[in-house]
Amino acid sequence: MGSGHNFSYLATMFSRLFGRRKKEDSQYDNLPVPETANWGVLGADMHSHFLPGIDDGSKSLEESIVLLRTMADMGYSTIITTPHVMIDYYPNTTKTITDALHTVQAAIKEQNINIQLRAAAEYYIDDYFTQLLENEPLLTIHKNEVLVEFSMMFEPPMLATTLFNMQTAGYKPIIAHPERYVFFHRDLSKYQELKDRGCLLQMNMLSIAGYYGQNIKMVAEQLLSKGMYDYCGSDAHHEKHLAVLNAMGRSRDYHKITGYPFLNSRLSV
């Protein structure tokens, strides 16, 4: 793509986004800002890293308990937590995940924390994932739906093939935080392609808060306004993420998220 084309594309995208945002903001201006964060209307959170010591999320059982108590305080009734499965960094298996899950489930019961905790995984698409797919059942979010992520730096060459192979094996891919893959930003039709391939799209709530930067926020708002998302998730790893989620719950961003028909509520028990 030449630089002239790039510039006109960006100019068009920004004018569309700013035009749309102005309209959206005025739509939310009339709604009250909540005094306390209550995400209970979503019911379930389906993307987080709350199991201790097995990925880059919670580091200890104590931290897991604090994080889950905070989620319960913010109104969530169900958490499907999703440790990374990434061979080079977090070589988790169904066993490492379910063992950690059982430990945390026992602790929340003992401490009377009113939340249902389940576990699935966030699978990183690479050659190892291809092997996993061929050799063992995957952990699912709901029915046959499997949460996947991939490199944020470049589009993996095997992406389309892997998504196709997942579907052939009977799974429905949920693409984690599509707004964070910056190589898609230059061509927003890539998102429609993923939808057309039968993938579900999961928005990170923190993207709307601008936590990952303005470009990611703008793309998330655009996908949201076009109705392209299916699920939303906190993707919370630690208390700082939950503090942002809490602040969002006391801002007009609350309405942007709760006003959208996310499928999360079908996950709550």
Cβ closer to Fe ion: 145 or 235? 235
Strands 145-149 and 200-204: unpaired
Cβ closer to Fe ion: 173 or 255? 173
Stretch that binds Fe ion, among 54-62, 94-102, 153-161, 231-239 (CB under 5 A): 231-239
Stretch that binds Fe ion, among 13-21, 115-123, 138-146, 182-190 (CB under 5 A): 115-123
Q: Answer yes or no: are the C-beta atoms of 148 and 175 closer than 8 Å.
A: yes
Cβ closer to Fe ion: 45 or 235? 235
State the minimum distance, in angstroms, from the CB of residue 122 to Fe ion: 5
The secondary structure of 197-243 as a DSSP string is TT-EEEEEHHHHTTTT-HHHHHHHHHHHHTT---EEE--B-SHHHHH
- Residue 217 to residue 34: CA distance in whole angstroms: 21
State the minimum distance, in angstroms, from the CB of residue 22 to Fe ion: 32
State the minimum distance, in angstroms, from the CB of residue 57 to Fe ion: 8
Cβ closer to Fe ion: 20 or 118? 118
User: What number of residues does the chain have?
Assistant: 269
Cβ closer to Fe ion: 77 or 82? 82
The neighbouring-strand residues paired with 233 are 204
Cβ closer to Fe ion: 123 or 254? 123
| Residue ranges of E strands in the chain | 44-45, 78-81, 84-85, 116-119, 122-124, 145-149, 172-176, 200-204, 231-233
Q: Closest residue (Cβ) to Fe ion?
A: 235
Could you say which residues in the range 119-138 bind Fe ion, by CB under 5 A?
Answer: 122
Could you say which residues in the range 36-75 bind Fe ion, by CB under 5 A?
Answer: none
235 counts as binding Fe ion under rule CB under 5 A? yes
Closest to 260 (Cα-Cα) out of 218, 228, 234, 237:
228
Report how many residues bind Fe ion under the rule CB under 5 A: 2
- Residue 92 to residue 55: CA distance in whole angstroms: 8
State the minimum distance, in angstroms, from the CB of residue 47 to Fe ion: 6
179 counts as binding Fe ion under rule CB under 5 A? no
Stretch that binds Fe ion, among 52-60, 210-218, 235-243, 254-262 (CB under 5 A): 235-243
Cβ closer to Fe ion: 49 or 255? 49
State the minimum distance, in angstroms, from the CB of residue 166 to Fe ion: 18
- Residue 117 to residue 168: CA distance in whole angstroms: 30
- Position 124, amino acid: Y
Residues in contact with Fe ion by the rule CB under 5 A: 122, 235
